[in-house]
Structure 1
Amino acid sequence: MKKRFSFLFLIILVFGMSASAQDHTFSRISVDGKNFVNEQNEVVVFEGLNIADPDRLVKEGQWKADIFNEVAAWGANIVRLPVHPAAWRERGQEEYLKLLDQGVEWAKEAGLYVIIDWHSIGNLRTGLFQNEMYDTSIRETYRFWYTISRRYKDEPAVALYEIFNEPTTYNGELGTLTWEQWSDILLDIIAVVRANNPEAVPLVAGFNWAYDLTPVMNDPLPVAGIAYVSHPYPQKREQPWVPQWERDFGFVADNYPVIATEVGYMYPDQKGAHIPCLGDETYGETLTGYFDEKGISYVAWVFDPGWSPQLIKDWDFTPTRAGEFFKSAMSED
């Protein structure tokens, strides 16, 4: 009798744990003025983490629910999934979509919203990019967002659609790109997304590796329900940062939602240390304080021990100093 009771108790316990993992409900996110809001019209400020490309994590043997659970344990409410065009092609659309489906399910179980990010760097108009892993085309980009917007149109946990990671001409080496030209491309892509998912919230990045949103001052995109993106790494500007951030992107948050989908810092002795990511807690404290004041959401880069600036040292999820900072910052809210 004792063994039977223990066995039944175990079944109930396991079932209960499984059911509780699925118990998260996700209210669809939309845009109301300068805010992200949920279906109850409550303002939502996102604070989260980037993980590495799912394709890379599979190859590293680390594509596991543990990552999403740990991201949530750090206090995050959103996770960004960067999809590199080269990985999308190499794995093939159908196989990559299986990874995204799995990632979305793991995120939901952990209580996390999801950003899907088309992770290219370069000039989409000229078809020139910073590295082969970012090579794509306007047609492939249209096709990607056609596919994603159809697949997740009924999934409110997939909250934000980041159209293009970091537009840049790389100091002119990748050709020219005006704000008017970029806006025309973005409007076409957003039209495709909205035709297949009218409730989607597209994210629009500015120039200079997604840092500079100054053109929005006089020429915002003529479409409702979008948000803007900046990547204000430490050396995008010299100190004092705040007045320059306000001029370069922060002013946009007075009228539209702004989300910094990449922020972070590292010390010069860390693996992969490079400009513009060299910094310390002074940067972190100034940044998060400014974001709190402006109501700007952010997603720290990157929850991976290989890519930089790293938030973790190993796959035991040991935080780096930056990881400790952002973990503390998110847990306090």
Structure 2
Amino acid sequence: MQIGAVLALSLIIIVGIILLVSCSENSSKEDKETTWNEEQSSTTKEVKETTDGLTSAEVDTTTETTQPETTVPETTIPQTTPQPEETTTRANNSSSNNSGIKKLHVSGIHLVDDAGNVVVLNGVSTHGIAWFPQYVSKETFATVKDSFGGNVIRIAMYSDPNAGYNQSLHAKVEEAVSYATELGMYIIIDWHILSDGNPNTYKNEAIAFFDKMSAKYKDYNNVLYEICNEPNGNISWSNDVKPYAIDVIKTIRANDPDGVILVGTTTWSQDVDIAANDPITGFSNIMYTLHFYAATHKDWNRQKLVDALNKGLPVFVSEFSICDASGNGWNDVNSGNTWMALLDQYQISFVGWSLSNKAEAASIISSSCNKISGFSDNELTESGAWLVNQLRRH
């Protein structure tokens, strides 16, 4: 009996110990699971807070890396958005200088990009910036690009002191280049010979000006140099304009080895056929300018263009309108349309005259409109409305 009692007591003690150990393990497991759940909850919260702390741009960037390009609407991507390969090939340019703008070259009769694709520039020219400086503004240029559909601005700086030239205008030219560059547009720096006739009259001033501009903009893909607007009077191509052009081109090339240079021709830049018989040699990326006013210049002038092109001369129409050659008179829409068909046929770049509200037929903006941007169609002149329609069509 005694032995049986002892055994029973021992059995009770052993069972008690087993139950005590089991309860301790369950309690430890519950505590561990509670701790793990709390850690997971804390981690999830931290991840959410980190995601919530991202800017919308960062979230979009993260999302875009996992989405195919086809899911992004084309309209959300500006045409001037730089591609990675363009960014790396322009490492020497600051981002403000390059803005994704394609480097241009002259090949045959055309402007082309690095891949050899034909590039057609079309846009507008200012009037003399000494008289209409208000249109040298980012807002105006943005209207030309976004509303009119242009991709180039021509800055007309008259070269004759009696026509408004002074060195203070250089700053206005530089301002124009900065706006065009910010907007991803091309820009033509125009030494606007007109009343001075012979480009050699102010050749020293032209050389100094283009030395300054080409040194400043040698790394800009969007800058073109127009070195003599409309040579005219008792001068010739071979004896006057061509020697002048060679001297100015040498100056530019000392700074900018491959920027595109536009050379005016005699008779107010109509004689491209004459230049085609005696072109400038020894330099690349040279083009020759043709100007026309459609109510005056018709089949005879169009034939001069065709003759020059057939001889391989690269031509750029850097000024035109549909009125007569005085900048006034009537607008010959039919002749203008014939000209445009010819330019389209040969893929020729063109710039219309003029971005101003001067009271004359060639002005784009109505003389009653004092706005500098956001022009409605009824604030344009007849020739301005026609030109804007041409730009939008391209």
Cα deviation, 1:135-169, whole Å, max 9, x if unaligned, reads xx1111111111111111011111x2101111001
Deviation at 1:126, TM superposition (A): 6.3
Indicate the residue corresponding to 1:288 in structure 2.
340
Deviation at 1:249, TM superposition (A): 2.5
Indicate the residue corresponding to 2:155 in structure 1.
81
Cα deviation, 1:144-200, whole Å, max 9, x if unaligned, reads 111111111011111x2101111001xx4xxx4452332112111111111111012
Q: Show structure 1 runs of 4+ deviating over 6 A.
A: 87-91
Deviation at 1:91, TM superposition (A): 7.9
In the alignment of these two chains, the number of paired residues is 296
Q: Aligned partners of 2:333 and 2:165: how far apart in 1? A: 39
Q: Aligned partners of 2:294 and 2:286: how far apart in 1? A: 26
Mapping of residues 130-141 of structure 1, within 5 Å: 137-141=202-206
Indicate the residue corresponding to 1:211 in structure 2.
270
Q: Which has the higher contact order (CA 8 A, sep 6+)?
A: 1
Q: Aligned partners of 2:198 and 2:217: how far apart in 1? A: 24
Q: Aligned partners of 2:135 and 2:347: how far apart in 1? A: 34
Matched, 1:301 2:353: yes
From 265, 286, 291, the counterpart of 1:226 = 286
Indicate the residue corresponding to 1:66 in structure 2.
139
Indicate the residue corresponding to 1:13 in structure 2.
none
Matched, 1:312 2:365: yes
Q: In 2 relative to 1, CA 89–195 (structure 1 residues): closer, same or farther, beyond 3 Å?
A: farther
Mapping of residues 183-222 of structure 1, within 5 Å: 183-222=242-281
Q: Aligned partners of 1:178 and 1:257: how far apart in 2? A: 16
Q: Aligned partners of 1:208 and 1:235: how far apart in 2? A: 17
Deviation at 1:101, TM superposition (A): 2.4
Deviation at 1:110, TM superposition (A): 2.7
Matched, 1:25 2:100: yes
Deviation at 1:88, TM superposition (A): 11
Residues 260 and 297 of structure 1 are in contact (CA less than 8 Å); yes or no, is this contact kept in structure 2? yes
Structure 1 residue matching 2:387: 3-state secondary structure? helix
Residues 51 and 302 of structure 1 are in contact (CA less than 8 Å); yes or no, is this contact kept in structure 2? yes
Q: 1:250 is matched by which residue type in structure 2?
A: V
Q: 2:220 is matched by which residue type in structure 1?
A: E
Deviation at 1:292, TM superposition (A): 0.5
Indicate the residue corresponding to 2:65 in structure 1.
none
Residues 135 and 355 of structure 2 are in contact (CA less than 8 Å); yes or no, is this contact kept in structure 1? no
Deviation at 1:218, TM superposition (A): 2.1
From 352, 374, 384, the counterpart of 1:323 = 384
Indicate the residue corresponding to 1:270 in structure 2.
none
Q: In 2 relative to 1, CA 77–253 (structure 1 residues): closer, same or farther, beyond 3 Å?
A: farther
Indicate the residue corresponding to 2:174 in structure 1.
101
Indicate the residue corresponding to 2:315 in structure 1.
258
Q: Aligned partners of 1:298 and 1:207: how far apart in 2? A: 19
Cα deviation, 1:51-102, whole Å, max 9, x if unaligned, reads 23334334xx454212101111201111100112357997854x43332222
Cα deviation, 1:201-243, whole Å, max 9, x if unaligned, reads 1111111111122212321111332001011112543xxx34x
Residues 124 and 138 of structure 1 are in contact (CA less than 8 Å); yes or no, is this contact kept in structure 2? no
For the pair shown, which has the larger CA radius of gyration, 1 or 2? 2
Q: TM-score, normalised by structure 2?
A: 0.67
Q: Aligned partners of 1:274 and 1:90: how far apart in 2? A: 19
Q: In 2 relative to 1, CA 252–178 (structure 1 residues): closer, same or farther, beyond 3 Å?
A: closer
Q: Aligned partners of 1:62 and 1:182: how far apart in 2? A: 30
- Please list every run of 5 or more consecutive structure 2 residues that lacks an aligned counterpart in the other structure: 1-54, 57-80, 82-95
Q: In 2 relative to 1, CA 189–328 (structure 1 residues): closer, same or farther, beyond 3 Å?
A: same
Deviation at 1:117, TM superposition (A): 0.3
Q: Aligned partners of 2:351 and 2:391: how far apart in 1? A: 10
Matched, 1:162 2:226: yes
Q: Aligned partners of 1:68 and 1:290: how far apart in 2? A: 27
Indicate the residue corresponding to 1:12 in structure 2.
none
Q: Aligned partners of 1:85 and 1:211: how far apart in 2? A: 20
Structure 2 residue matching 1:259: 3-state secondary structure? strand
Q: Aligned partners of 1:123 and 1:322: how far apart in 2? A: 27
Deviation at 1:275, TM superposition (A): 6.2
Matched, 1:147 2:212: yes
Q: In 2 relative to 1, CA 251–307 (structure 1 residues): closer, same or farther, beyond 3 Å?
A: farther
Indicate the residue corresponding to 1:120 in structure 2.
193
Alignment RMSD = 3.3
Mapping of residues 37-76 of structure 1, within 5 Å: 37-58=112-133, 61-72=134-145, 73-76=147-150
Deviation at 1:24, TM superposition (A): 4.1
Deviation at 1:256, TM superposition (A): 3.1
Q: In 2 relative to 1, CA 74–203 (structure 1 residues): closer, same or farther, beyond 3 Å?
A: same
Cα deviation, 1:281-300, whole Å, max 9, x if unaligned, reads 11221111111112221100
Q: In 2 relative to 1, CA 260–39 (structure 1 residues): closer, same or farther, beyond 3 Å?
A: same
- Please list every run of 5 or more consecutive structure 1 residues that lacks an aligned counterpart in the other structure: 1-7, 10-19, 128-136, 268-272
Q: Aligned partners of 2:221 and 2:349: how far apart in 1? A: 18
Q: TM-score, normalised by structure 1?
A: 0.78
Q: 2:158 is matched by which residue type in structure 1?
A: H
